[in-house]
A = this chain, B = another copy of it.
């Protein structure tokens, strides 16, 4: 009985046809609110009616209107991920590390039942981060290059105004709760070079405050070298160049110095790749004449010739930690700063 008739309906005009929970309710012979509860898994609805509702929903091919749900609940089930780039940077030339991190963040969010709203912000002129105010997301994860201070300042201010956010790779030490265990990684790399018999180890790095990660890695290197009774040897990178060009120049400077070296630790893989090219061109054989190791574990390092040893952070853990930290913040729970574990990946560039 009781097909849809001429009597006043709950929802009079199905203007642009869309199956709503009212339709499911009618089909299942229950009220709309029961449909909502049943589909949400509320234990207050009996197993029998839950099944009827599920069947009706399936039959009508019903799917929830998330916007309505979000409007009512105030929760979005979405995390915004902002990737900061340099204003002039081609999407193709973003550090593979950043992309890999983006991938694991999305995976971690998905595993926790959250969608990810991704945007790339290059121009400090038109930054946008009002995701939470606009109820587009419950919080913000910011990653990317440190070399765009304006952008970081923008998000820091946003966070200061009560929004929920976490970041990876900011130029500000006090902002970074989650980051690679740079110190430990650099120590691993340096020890690995020492173990391979090297003693004159140059480190291509930057002590610039905007490159905090590099600084930490240099420190780890320096300590290890000193502990082994050697002198730290810093070859500073030039700014304003692409990473591989920085590596090339650094090697040129290294060779020009005339000082003998038997190993090089580059604080990131892309620098190491540039260094590798420059070494080859200068007929310094890797690893016979000099060992070489990088940091970051990007895919290209495995594809270089010779394959490049590196320190690889646990990408999956990195993404997961960022998401956990953010969700903890949203829930108002405490969450201690964490270091992402790293591991040594020994390849040909440091063999023997």
Residues of chain A touching chain B, judged by Cβ–Cβ distance below 8 Å, are: 16, 63-68, 70-71, 74, 76, 78, 81, 90-94, 96, 99-100, 102-104, 106-107, 110, 115-120, 130, 133-136, 244, 270, 273-274, 276-277, 280, 297-300, 302-307, 315-316, 319
Task: Give the residues in chain B near A65, CB-CB below 8 Å.
Answer: 71, 134-135
11 A/B residue pairs, CB under 8 Å, sorted by A: A63-B133, A68-B71, A90-B315, A94-B99, A94-B103, A106-B118, A115-B119, A270-B303, A273-B300, A273-B303, A277-B307
A96 to chain B minimum Cβ distance, whole angstroms, is 6
The reply to whether B120 and A117 contact each other, CB–CB distance below 8 Å, is no
CB nearest to A315 among chain B residues? B92
Q: Is the CB of B106 within 8 A of A66?
A: no
Excluding A91-B316, A274-B303, A304-B304, 9 further A-B contacts by CB distance (< 8 Å) are: A63-B134, A67-B68, A67-B135, A92-B299, A96-B299, A99-B99, A115-B117, A280-B305, A300-B303
Chain B proximity of A66: nearest CB distance (Å)? 5
A315 to B92, CA, bound (A): 8
Q: State A132–B16 Cα separation when bound (angstroms).
A: 14
| A91-B304 in contact given A63-B134, A117-B115, A133-B63 (Cβ < 8 Å) | no
A300 and B300 contact, CB distance less than 8 A? yes
Contacts of A270 in B (CB 8 A): 303
* Residue ID in chain B nearest A136 by CB atoms: B66
Q: Is B299 in contact with A277, judged by CB distance below 8 angstroms?
A: no
Nearest 3 interchain pairs by C-beta: A91-B103, A300-B300, A99-B99
Do A67 and B63 touch (CB < 8 A)? no
Contact of A277 among B103, B117, B305 (CB under 8 A): B305
CA gap between A31 and B74 in the complex, in Å: 24
- Chain B residue at minimum C-beta to C-beta distance from A316: B91
Q: Which chain B positions have C-beta within 8 A of A276?
A: 305
Nearest CB in chain B: distance from A253 CB, A = 19
- Cβ B305 vs Cβ A303 within 8 A: no
**Please, how many angstroms separate the alpha-carbon atoms of A110 and B96 in the complex?**
22
Chain B residue nearest in CB terms to A296:
B92
Q: Which residue of B lies closest to A75 (CB)?
A: B67
